[in-house]
């Protein structure tokens, strides 16, 4: 069974993706800042599924952190068959009021590190003529997002970038899947300080487990873009037929604090 490297694996969708892959009998390399959480998950998965889990504690918003992880897997002689770029975070608020340092970390993590990971491991996969990559984007990728301007822009990058390289390697035995969840019960809203947003307040959201199972199945099928949930799918595709100004205003209304 293939070995999967999963970033942001200490909680939320990343943690559930690790459980899904382990349940199939696959080995894991788990990366996140909180190594103690990863080590707890390592013990749980190794005991339950009799697999091997290697953990790397790393702040992936730091420059060249992806290269450091890549070099460590090479040093440990671990071949990465599936790369799942799941790590990412958002922030909620008017751009004039939000913190630049947090936004810079967001850009580094959501864009730069994801891109560097993809380049490093994709080159190896193309040489072997096999491999799978899943980059986790969002339904935020399909329109601009007032009150989360930088986050929406980073996720648009992930979708555009991933679709392009999926085309480039379509004849190389490698597939690139972009997973686009909508709002999910994952701790993301708390980290982004958006619990009061009309998008999530009082709503029953899909669980991280549901999104992870859907995304993993889409990756295994080699699907290029995977949008979780029929309503999310319809909304993501309908924005193409509406004036952009309308879409931006509607997104602002949805994201503003619930009255």
- Give the residue numbers marked as catalytic: 151, 155
The bridge status of strand 53-57 relative to strand 174-180 is: unpaired
40's tokens: 């707890």
Question: Tokens 């999104």 identify what position?
Answer: 211
d(CA 182, CA 211): 9
Phi then psi for 21, rounded to 5 degrees? -65, -40
32's tokens: 């996140």
Q: Could you tell me if 14 and 86 are in contact, meaning their C-beta atoms sit under 8 angstroms apart?
A: yes
10's tokens: 């200490």
For 157, other C-beta atoms within 10 Å of its C-beta total: 17
């Amino acid at each position: 069974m293939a070995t999967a490297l999963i970033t942001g694996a200490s909680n939320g969708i990343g943690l559930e993706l690790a459980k899904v892959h382990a349940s199939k009998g696959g080995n894991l390399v788990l990366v996140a800042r909180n190594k103690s959480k990863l080590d707890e998950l390592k013990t749980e998965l190794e005991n339950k599924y009799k697999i091997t889990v290697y953990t790397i504690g790393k702040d992936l918003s730091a420059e060249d952190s992806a290269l450091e992880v890549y070099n460590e897997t090479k040093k440990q002689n671990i071949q990465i068959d599936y790369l799942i770029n799941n790590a990412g975070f958002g922030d909620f608020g008017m751009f004039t009021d939000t913190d630049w340092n947090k936004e810079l970390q967001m850009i580094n993590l959501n864009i730069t590190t994801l891109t560097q990971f993809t380049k490093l491991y994709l080159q190896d996969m193309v040489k072997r003529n096999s491999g799978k990559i899943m980059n986790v984007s969002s339904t935020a990728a399909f329109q601009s997002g007032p009150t989360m301007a930088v986050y929406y822009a980073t996720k648009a990058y992930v979708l555009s970038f991933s679709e392009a390289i999926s085309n480039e390697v379509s004849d190389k035995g490698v597939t690139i899947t972009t997973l686009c969840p909508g709002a999910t019960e994952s701790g993301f809203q708390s980290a982004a300080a958006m619990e009061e947003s009309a998008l999530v307040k009082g709503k029953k959201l899909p669980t991280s487990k549901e999104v992870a199972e859907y995304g993993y199945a889409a990756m295994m099928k080699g699907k290029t873009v995977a949008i979780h949930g029929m309503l999310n799918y319809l909304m993501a595709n309908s924005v193409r037929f509406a004036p952009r100004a309308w879409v931006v205003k509607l997104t602002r209304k949805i994201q503003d604090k619930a009255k």
